[in-house]
Amino acid sequence: MSSAPPNDPGSASRPRRLLILAEGYSADPHYGKTARGVLRYRREQVVAILDSERAGETQDGIPIVGSVNDALCFNPTTALVGVATQGGRFPPAWRELLKSAIAKGLDVENGLHELISEDPELVELAARHRVELRDLRKPPPGLNVPTGENLTHPAKVVLTVGSDCAIGKMTVALELDAEACRRGIASEFVPTGQTGIAIAGWGISVDAVVSDFAAGAIENEVIEAGREAEVVVVEGQGALHHPGYSGVTLSLLAGSCPRALILCHAAGRDRIRTAEGSPREIPIPPLAELARAYETAAAWVQKAEVVGVALNTLGLEEPAARAACEAAGRELGVPATDPVRFGARPLAQAVLALRGRKLAPQA
């Protein structure tokens, strides 16, 4: 994409052979979600994973090593920070890990809020070893409030929205985009978080943008993506009723101006995830209530419909997973599926039905 910021992975001057830094988190589906996302969608670029707690094991066929030195035999060129810690800060022990990667001649891609490109010691070390430090969450200059142009372009915009955080909104968006592309639809995925940027090679991390400009930043990305795409699939963030992350969700609704919403939910989850140690217990409303809330919030700018439900059925046996999808579909009266287990075709068809198109049979 031509709108890729200057600090994105696509600006690297050498082949991207990734050593994923996942020290202490490679087995954690929540805090290790960046590593898992890149493994799923950019596996061909990953040569090793670093986690001293699991050295000698493999994950998805990729070797796990205990140190940067141990990874050098796999010829990595880039160390990718593969964790999404609470608050977006590095654990204290990671400083030496980052310095080791830089000293061994590896570029570093970082998706946390703690910016390595503004750390004097790391910047000096990187200059000495002639490597790049790329902060995926660092917003580009020149952002502003929305102009309203996002209401005029012809592309059909789809936004993934959720009942909670960390339930697969990015995965659903990627699967929907891939399904549309497989069937000949001009589709573009718009990343809005660090993992999506690491996968797609462009985008903007909306949670790192000044709040006044967050919707405008997303408007820019959607307009750029929509210049050549019929369908623009925007990666959702947060959740409308989450006390910590509702702001970023509202910015995405206002900035992307979607016509279609895909409601994402983790089957069986009935409480939102709040900060560790928080005494707060917040129940997740019924899906029908969530759908109405999202449609109401979207309509403050432009009317949008929840046209499908994407369930994360990880941990359920297949019969239970299919039953959960059927129940969700009945509750909302729209197609429901787990796009990872059962495919995204029902969701793609629901999106295109808004314009009277149907998916052609896959060759």
pLDDT digits (tens, 9 = 90+) for 81-90: 999 887 788 9
User: Within this chain, do residues 298 and 188 fall inside the same structural domain, yes or no?
Assistant: yes
Query: How distant, in Å, are the alpha carbons of 85, 230, 249, 275, 284 from that of 280?
Result: 20, 42, 20, 9, 13
Cβ atoms of 25 and 32 closer than 8 Å: yes
> Which helix (H) or strand (E) covers residue 161, if one does?
strand 156-162
Q: Is residue 3 part of a domain?
A: no
Return the CATH number at 270: 3.40.50.300
Q: pLDDT at position 11, please?
A: 43
Task: Average the pLDDT over 293-318 and give the result.
Answer: 96
CATH of the domain at 17: 3.40.50.720
Neighbours of 316 (CB within 10 A): 18
CA-atom Rg of the chain in angstroms: 20
pLDDT confidence of residue 339: 98
In this structure, the answer to whether residues 319 and 346 fall within a common structural domain is: yes
Domain for residue 4, yes or no?
no
Whether 143 is covered by a domain: the verdict is: no
Mean per-residue pLDDT for 107-118?
Answer: 96
Q: At what angle do helices 246-256 and 287-299 cross, to 10 degrees?
A: 50
Residue 257 half-sphere exposure toward CB, CA atoms < 13 A: 21
Same domain (yes/no): 130, 153: no
Distance CA 268, CA 28 (A): 19
User: Coil, strand or helix: which one is 207?
Assistant: helix
Q: According to the model, what pLDDT value does residue 156 have?
A: 93
Helix (H) or strand (E) holding 184, with range, is none
- Together in a domain, 130 and 157: no
Instruction: Say yes or no: 182 and 326 in one domain.
Output: yes
Whether residue 176 sits in one domain with residue 308: yes
Average pLDDT over residues 199-220: 95
In a domain, residue 160? The reply is: yes
Mean pLDDT of 108-125: 96
Average per-residue pLDDT in the chain? 91
Which domain, by its residues, includes 115?
Answer: 9-135
pLDDT tens digits along 225-261: 999 999 999 999 999 999 889 999 999 999 999 999 9
pLDDT at 88: 82
Inform me whether the pLDDT recorded for 1 exceeds 50.
no
- One-letter amino acid for residue 112 of the chain: L
Structure confidence by residue, pLDDT tens digits, 151-194: 888 899 999 999 999 899 999 999 999 999 998 999 999 999 99
Question: Would you say residue 359 lies in a domain?
Answer: no
- SS3 for 208? helix
8 Å CB contact between 181 and 175:
no
Task: Judge if pTM exceeds 0.85.
Answer: yes
DSSP 61: T
Tokens 């809330």 label which residue? 293
> Mean pLDDT lowest for which of 69-73, 141-145, 359-363?
359-363
User: Alpha helix (H) ranges present in the chain?
Assistant: 33-41, 68-71, 94-103, 120-129, 169-182, 194-200, 211-225, 246-256, 287-299, 318-332, 339-342, 345-353
The answer on pLDDT for 5 being more than 50 is no
Question: Does residue 88 share a domain with residue 201?
Answer: no
Domain boundary among 135, 167, 190: 135
How many Cα neighbours within 13 Å face the side chain of 276?
5
